[in-house]
Structure 1
Amino acid sequence: MGFRLAALTPESRDTFWRSLQTLNATRVVIALVLLAYLSVDSRSLRAAGGIGYAPVCIAYLLLALGFAAAARTRRRFLLQLLTQIACDLAVISLLYAGAGGLRSGLAILYLFPLAGMAILAPLLLALFSASLVALFLLGHSAWQIFTQDGDSTTLQAGLFGGAFLAAVLVVNRMAAKLIGQEELAVRRGAEIHVQQSVNRLVMSHMSDGIVVLDADGQVHAGNPAAQQMLGMAGAEMRLDLGSAPALAPLAQAHRDWLADPARATALLTIKPYTDPALQETTAAWSARRDLAAHLRVRFAAVETDGLGVERSVIFLQDVTAIENQAQQLKLASMGRLTASIAHEVRNPLSAIAHATSLLSEDLAAPVHTRLLKIVGDNVARVNRMVEDILQLSRKVQPHGEPLALDGFLAELVAEFQDTHALAAGIVRREPAGPALVRFDPLHLREVVLNLMNNAVRYASGGPASIRLFVVGGKGRGLELHVQDDGPGISPGVRAHLFEPFYTTSSKGTGLGLYLARELCLNNEAMLDYEYRFDAQVQADGSRKSSGRFVITFARPAGMPGP
């Protein structure tokens, strides 16, 4: 065992050196006990001549101290061990022979070095040492038969020698087994540590959420995906599911699963948006509480037989993106279908419009005029819808040149006011400065006109009831806000705001906002409806939140951020 010390793990090598230090400390104690015993037992000293015992014990004590100091260097383990055991056997043999052999009772001292040899050295060396001791005991007993009168102690010496050999064999095998168990434990510990590191890495990069909790609903761990799904991004996953109102559906599903293990899967809707960091910059922290996250959850029990603890794992899958993707596929299919239908409808529609125009020349009665006007208005409405559908199917590659936003908006607002005959001051445009955006001018014109038409429809008509302003800053994208002072859009309507053919107006087609968003996406921009805090502080120190359409532009290639 000692020859393989270099092949052992650092933990096992440390165990060997600690055992050697313990052996050295025991040797010092034995040397002190021998000195105390031999100094007071004058009869034994006289029987043995009384010469040499004190010097031998003192020398043994000094050697023990020297061995203890040498072991601290942790070099040449086997050489130090063999030297120490040889010294122990030599000193004990001197004392044993000088005290009269087996009658002195000092033969038991041989167990100390032999046990150390059995624990720290290979079996062959340990048995060799025990054999030397057995031969010495038998030889000394035989010598006493020829030189001294008295009873023979050969049988006792043989029994001691056999006992020493058996003890060495048993102790060596037990020590080897313990060292093997320690090696196995160290290897298993390293494997578990590596496996834990791999598990943490996999969990942190998984798109599905993982939550570990006990039978009482106390959460013990969770990966970043679970934190994001549950609205706890950056928070410590140490909470009780029952204490979080937003997580009440998840807590109830967990209790149902505990009561009936067959209910291991469920579809839940939670409203986790509780990010207070946005409270001073956006009203989304309150408005988005109406937005829901759709989660597919699956419960699984962890096998902890005999450990006295219960753990279960919740696997969370956010199906909101899947639902959105399915919605987009449905809309894309519907768009292709409506585009093909629009091509087929356009020619009959033109024929109806032309026939209506011809009939208006021959029919002059008021009833006929009213009916023809109804037909003409509906033909115009259907024709506008067809034009919008066809425009969606003609996505032109946008221009890559930067567009000066301030001059573009000034010209567009002036034209809009003239076209709608608006009073001065109804539309307020705040200067955008030298802001440059990457957006096709024709596309941006159509998007902004669509948003301003909606604003005119719902605004109060007072001064600055419609506002256009640019927001941008360090670390933020450039945004164009189109805001009016009309009533905000309810959460129910906002959920379907950009869907095609969805409208709350009897005269609308439901394609305007959908077309505007598609044009923004075609120019790598984003259009959304948001609640934001106004910059002005009210008299009570608070800031009013209001809804507005926000266009987030893509940064022009090669241009620094705002």
Structure 2
Amino acid sequence: MAPLALSAQSRDTFWRSLQTLNGTRVVIALVLLVYLSVDTRGLHNSGDLLYARVCGGYLALSVLFAVVAARWRRRFLFQLLSQVACDLAVISLLYVGGGGVRGGLAILYLFPLAGCAILAPLVLALFCAALVTLFVLGDSVWRLLNAEGDAAVLQAGMLGAAFFAVVLLVNRMAARLILQEELAVQRGLEIGVQQAVNRLVMSHAGDGVVVVGPDGEIHAGNPAAQQMLGVAGALGLRLGALPSLHAIAQAYDDWRADPARATAFVTIKPYTDPALQDMTAAWNGRRDLAAHLKLRFAAAETTAPGLERNVIFLEDVTAIENQAQQLKLASMGRLTASIAHEVRNPLSAIGHATSLLAEDLSAPVHVRLLRIVGDNVARVNRMVEDILQLSRKAHSHGEPLALGALVADLKDEFDELHGLDRAVLDIAGVADITVRFDPVHLRGVLLNLLGNAVRYASRKPSSIRLFVVAAPGWPPELHVQDDGAGIAPQVRAHLFEPFYTTSSRGTGLGLYLARELCLNNDAMLDYEYRFDVAGGASPASSGRFVITFARAGT
């Protein structure tokens, strides 16, 4: 196989092999000089000086060949054949002077023949083997004619057969290795192109892609994922090691435990994570914002043991949720006026008529029917009141508000309203801080959140907790947490949508109105997963509602 028909990498391999052949030639020339200096039986008796000069010249030519091949990488086949011709000529001189087959120098022919079989086409290698075989047979026949015995002819024939066998075997093995190298080079080029395309696609993709290990270690992430999560300086760390990514870590663990849960919705705040402060200007400019992400998990098909890799696809649905909320709010505004005039007045008449009927009807069946009517009238009236709050909430007063005093007063009212033991609602973690929020609006938001909490809590001591999370330089947060079951991811995706509810007694407007009231006061209400560590125990995921207030002075 001619090296010029191969790739650049394979041609380099041929030139390196030629240099190896040159180095081996120098070693053989030195060995021959040493051999001639210690042999006292054959060559010394036939002319020491002549053969010493032959070996010395061979050494000089070997060094010259090595220098030329290193400095002048052209005419590969010409250089190779020139070197092989020199090898055959020198070895033939030594072979004849050493007594032919009996001299033991015939083995030296294997060196140039093997080199030619590796680096030259098969036809040229067989031609060289044929020349050597004819020469060896001719020398043996000549010696036979000169009455030097007949055993040498058989030995020469066997040597010729061995030369052909070696050339064929070495050439086929070398050809197979070259083909394997060519295939590897081609596959490497294809992989390089594919990797370049993948990098280009990933760098311009709007969705985030994160590659993680089985333990949650972050191995790679495209620019979109780094922007969403703030992991540009966190490659090599685990998801659970970053407080801002605990929600993703929990969703990832849930998926590994149950592969059917391949989709999850989470809320993260990488901008409030102290470990990521001042990492980029983009994150510093968005510290007060939360990112609502849709996660999709997929396992990469890797067969190597210990190299499990999973991919997390992240889609920022914050803008989509906000747009949907705006559209629903616009529709709700158009509906409010109609409901206020067309529903509330007839509803009041129905309620009044029901009260009059209750005075005249005393039969048990009538009382039960009237109670059903009254309950549904109250439910519809509550829905109308919630809708009317959408228009009334616009008038907010964001004066400074002492949070501790408001929560303490609210606790007394709430305990009495629901008949709770005072230890059930724990407000010990509420710091006496000042926030900017309309007190009427904040009271309404907290009553709504606590009403949901008391519905699912166990009512044990401290089963419902209110506490403040505040750090210097960061907006304060008020957490509302209970010991009930967390909200499922599929419910979390629609949690703050109007008229979405999982309760047969709810209107689906409570949480929507609570978030709108918070937004109207420059605050943010969201449902988040955080990791709680108690008494040195391992982190446990816990869902809670979080109100992020506006910064002081804003």
Q: TM-score range by the shorter chain?
A: 0.5 to 0.7
Closer, same or farther: CA 57–198 of 1 in aligned 2, 3 Å: same
Closer, same or farther: CA 149–7 of 1 in aligned 2, 3 Å: closer
Shift of 1:530: 8.2
- In the TM superposition, what are the counterparts of 1:144-543 in structure 2 within 5 Å? 144-230=143-229, 232=230, 234-274=232-272, 276-277=277-278, 288=288, 291-334=289-332, 458=399, 488-489=436-437, 529=522
Distance 1:200 1:139 in 2: 66
Cα deviation per residue 1:475-523 (whole Å; 9 max; x = unaligned)? xxxxxxxxxxx961379879x9xx99xxxxxxxxxxxxx9xx9xxxxxx
Closer, same or farther: CA 176–493 of 1 in aligned 2, 3 Å: farther
Closer, same or farther: CA 487–80 of 1 in aligned 2, 3 Å: closer
Could you tell me which residue of structure 1 aligns to residue 42 of structure 2? 44
SS at match of 2:237: coil
Closer, same or farther: CA 307–280 of 1 in aligned 2, 3 Å: closer
Is the 8 Å Cα contact of residues 227 and 237 (structure 1) preserved in structure 2?
no
Distance 2:523 2:255 in 1: 38
Distance 1:28 1:528 in 2: 88
Distance 1:8 1:187 in 2: 11
Distance 2:105 2:139 in 1: 13
Is the 8 Å Cα contact of residues 96 and 106 (structure 1) preserved in structure 2?
yes
Cα deviation per residue 1:419-477 (whole Å; 9 max; x = unaligned)? xxxxxxxxxxxxxxxxxxxxxxxxxxxxxxxx9x967x9599xxxxxxxxxxxxxxxxx
Is the 8 Å Cα contact of residues 114 and 168 (structure 1) preserved in structure 2?
yes
Is the 8 Å Cα contact of residues 242 and 248 (structure 1) preserved in structure 2?
yes
Shift of 1:110: 0.3
Q: Match of 2:436, as an amino acid?
A: G
Distance 2:55 2:183 in 1: 42
Closer, same or farther: CA 169–530 of 1 in aligned 2, 3 Å: same
Cα deviation per residue 1:294-347 (whole Å; 9 max; x = unaligned)? 2221211111113531111111122222222222332344456679x69x99xx
Q: TM-score, normalised by structure 1?
A: 0.60
Cα deviation per residue 1:77-109 (whole Å; 9 max; x = unaligned)? 111000000000011011101111000000000
Is the 8 Å Cα contact of residues 292 and 316 (structure 2) preserved in structure 1?
yes
Q: Match of 1:92, as an amino acid?
A: I
Could you tell me which residue of structure 2 aligns to residue 96 of structure 1? 95
Distance 1:27 1:203 in 2: 53
Shift of 1:7: 3.1
SS at match of 1:42: coil
Q: Match of 1:488, as an amino acid?
A: R
Shift of 1:278: 10
Single out whichever of 304-313 and 327-336 deviates more from structure 2: 327-336
Could you tell me which residue of structure 2 aligns to residue 110 of structure 1? 109
Gaps of 5+ in 1: 346-384, 389-450, 461-485, 501-513, 518-526, 532-543, 549-562
SS at match of 1:267: strand
Distance 2:135 2:110 in 1: 14
Distance 1:27 1:258 in 2: 62
Distance 1:109 1:279 in 2: 70
SS at match of 2:41: helix
Distance 1:282 1:243 in 2: 19
Is the 8 Å Cα contact of residues 489 and 547 (structure 1) preserved in structure 2?
no
Shift of 1:199: 1.4
Closer, same or farther: CA 179–281 of 1 in aligned 2, 3 Å: closer
Could you tell me which residue of structure 2 aligns to residue 136 of structure 1? 135
SS at match of 2:312: strand
Q: What is the aligned length?
A: 378
SS at match of 2:552: strand
Distance 2:54 2:33 in 1: 9
Closer, same or farther: CA 190–326 of 1 in aligned 2, 3 Å: same
Distance 2:257 2:87 in 1: 69
Distance 1:46 1:279 in 2: 83
Closer, same or farther: CA 528–490 of 1 in aligned 2, 3 Å: closer
Q: Does 1:79 align with 2:27?
A: no
Closer, same or farther: CA 308–135 of 1 in aligned 2, 3 Å: farther
Q: Match of 1:58, as an amino acid?
A: G
SS at match of 2:298: strand
Q: Match of 1:264, as an amino acid?
A: A
Q: Match of 1:121, as an amino acid?
A: A
Cα deviation per residue 1:174-196 (whole Å; 9 max; x = unaligned)? 11111111111122112212222
Distance 1:63 1:214 in 2: 59
Distance 2:57 2:252 in 1: 74
Could you tell me which residue of structure 1 aligns to residue 31 of structure 2? 33
Cα deviation per residue 1:355-414 (whole Å; 9 max; x = unaligned)? xxxxxxxxxxxxxxxxxxxxxxxxxxxxxx9xx9xxxxxxxxxxxxxxxxxxxxxxxxxx
SS at match of 1:249: helix
SS at match of 1:207: coil
Distance 1:39 1:56 in 2: 13
SS at match of 1:300: strand
Distance 2:150 2:285 in 1: 105
Distance 1:140 1:282 in 2: 87
Could you tell me which residue of structure 1 aligns to residue 53 of structure 2? 55
Distance 1:112 1:26 in 2: 9
Could you tell me which residue of structure 2 aligns to residue 67 of structure 1? 65
Cα deviation per residue 1:17-73 (whole Å; 9 max; x = unaligned)? 111111111111111111111122122125535462111111111111111111012
Q: Does 1:7 align with 2:5?
A: yes
Is the 8 Å Cα contact of residues 48 and 100 (structure 1) preserved in structure 2?
no
Shift of 1:171: 0.6
SS at match of 2:211: strand
Closer, same or farther: CA 48–159 of 1 in aligned 2, 3 Å: same
Single out whichever of 210-219 and 277-286 deviates more from structure 2: 277-286
Distance 2:51 2:127 in 1: 28
Single out whichever of 262-271 and 27-36 deviates more from structure 2: 262-271
Distance 2:438 2:129 in 1: 94
Is the 8 Å Cα contact of residues 279 and 285 (structure 1) preserved in structure 2?
no
Q: Match of 1:182, as an amino acid?
A: E
Q: Match of 1:32, as an amino acid?
A: L
SS at match of 1:299: strand
Q: Match of 1:41, as an amino acid?
A: D
Distance 1:459 1:30 in 2: 96
Is the 8 Å Cα contact of residues 210 and 226 (structure 1) preserved in structure 2?
yes
Distance 1:55 1:282 in 2: 80
SS at match of 2:151: coil
SS at match of 1:269: strand
Q: Does 1:120 align with 2:96?
A: no
Aligned-pair RMSD on alpha carbons? 4.0
Could you tell me which residue of structure 1 aligns to residue 449 of structure 2? none
Closer, same or farther: CA 458–304 of 1 in aligned 2, 3 Å: closer
Is the 8 Å Cα contact of residues 138 and 158 (structure 1) preserved in structure 2?
yes
SS at match of 1:43: coil
Closer, same or farther: CA 113–490 of 1 in aligned 2, 3 Å: farther
Gaps of 5+ in 2: 343-387, 402-433, 446-496, 499-515, 525-549
Distance 2:324 2:123 in 1: 76
Shift of 1:141: 0.8
